[in-house]
Structure 1
Amino acid sequence: MAGRGLGDFLLSELRGLLPPTLFFLVAFNLLALTAWLSGSGASFGFASASLSALVCGKAVLVADNRGFFNRYPARPLMWNVLTKTLLYSALSTVIRLLEHGVHGWLANRRLGSGVEFVLADFSWAHFAMIQLWLAALFLVYTAFGELIGVIGRERMAQLFFGPVGASVA
């Protein structure tokens, strides 16, 4: 941040946070809509979907700011895609476990109650299923991110939004 103002730093952070947050906002709200339409009684509503999208967006931003990525420039894109997917999934797991622990701690106002809550009072099957969905969504997100990195934003926009008869070369 040396040499840059606080406004430049915040704008840079917001630009990094916006794409993954929007992606996961749409994805999670589709999941919430599916649960609601199926009548499963799931409590995963718009507010939870929005909060989860922010958490995933922040996990992507934190992971991207580490020097760990793009470790395999000479290998096929799938190496970086899988590396990022695994790291994003691991980060989101830790963040979600901490979030559940804080809920338990706030409910009981005891330091150990957060851990007790995580170990006893919530559905591990539900948690694992959400993590599997997150991993699949991270895979799609990182695959497109890597593809955009190779092809370029302008070319990708032309391929997706340009005229139908435009040359692909």
Structure 2
Amino acid sequence: MRALISRGYDVTLPTSVSVTIAALILGKSVLIANLLPFINRFPEKPLIWNIGWKTAIYTLVALVVHYLEHLYEYWKEAPSLAAANRMLLANLNWAHFWAIQILLVTLIAIYCVVAELVRVIGRDKFMAMFFGPIPPKPTGHVAG
């Protein structure tokens, strides 16, 4: 997203690869966060409680991953991690950084809404509601 915002639609292979790697890292972060014992903190309350809680946790993870992604780019050129962090704080386009964070919060919130609905309704019922009734599986008996 960062590359698309800053360069328009000029997407190159290295950009696509780095975007894919960042998405995989963020996806792994969500999977790891799902394993934390406190992630499903409000299972008996209205869904908005768990949606808000999980959105906050995932957003925090996304913020850290997003910051570290930028820090890594500066660390390649800086003599130390502290120097890279100073360069990052001085040179980062904060408007783009926060624009991407806002987009991520929106996407994370949508994910959390759908995930909580699936948890409460059940996967099969949700899929039937979304895509239509699932045809019955063949029983294996041959009519004759």
Return the match for 1:156 from 95, 102, 126: 126
Instruction: Report what 1:118 is aligned to.
Output: 88
Indicate the RMSD between aligned Cα atoms, in angstroms: 2.6
1:77 corresponds to 2:47: yes
2:118 & 2:55 partners in 1: Cα distance? 16
**Secondary structure in 2 matching 1:68:** coil
Instruction: Report what 1:97 is aligned to.
Output: 67
Return the match for 1:59 from 29, 35, 40: 29
2:77 & 2:57 partners in 1: Cα distance? 30
Query: Considering only CA atoms, is the larger Rg found in Structure 1 or Structure 2?
Result: 2
**TM-score, normalization: structure 1?**
0.67
**Which letter maps to 1:110?**
S
**Secondary structure in 1 matching 2:81:** coil
Deviates more, 1:92-101 or 1:80-89: 92-101
1:101 & 1:58 partners in 2: Cα distance? 19
> What 5-or-longer segments of structure 1 have no aligned partner?
1-27, 164-169
Instruction: Report what 1:132 is aligned to.
Output: 102
Deviations 1:110-152 (A, max 9, x none): 2322211221122111000100000000000010000000111
Asked whether the 8 Å contact 1:148–1:156 carries over to 2, the reply is yes
1:72 & 1:99 partners in 2: Cα distance? 32
**Secondary structure in 2 matching 1:72:** coil
**Secondary structure in 1 matching 2:89:** helix
Higher relative contact order (CA closer than 8 Å, sequence separation 6+): 2
> What 5-or-longer segments of structure 2 have no aligned partner?
134-144
Instruction: Report what 2:114 is aligned to.
Output: 144
1:124 & 1:81 partners in 2: Cα distance? 27
**Secondary structure in 2 matching 1:102:** helix
**TM-score, normalization: structure 2?**
0.78
1:124 & 1:56 partners in 2: Cα distance? 20
**Which letter maps to 1:95?**
V
**Which letter maps to 2:26?**
C
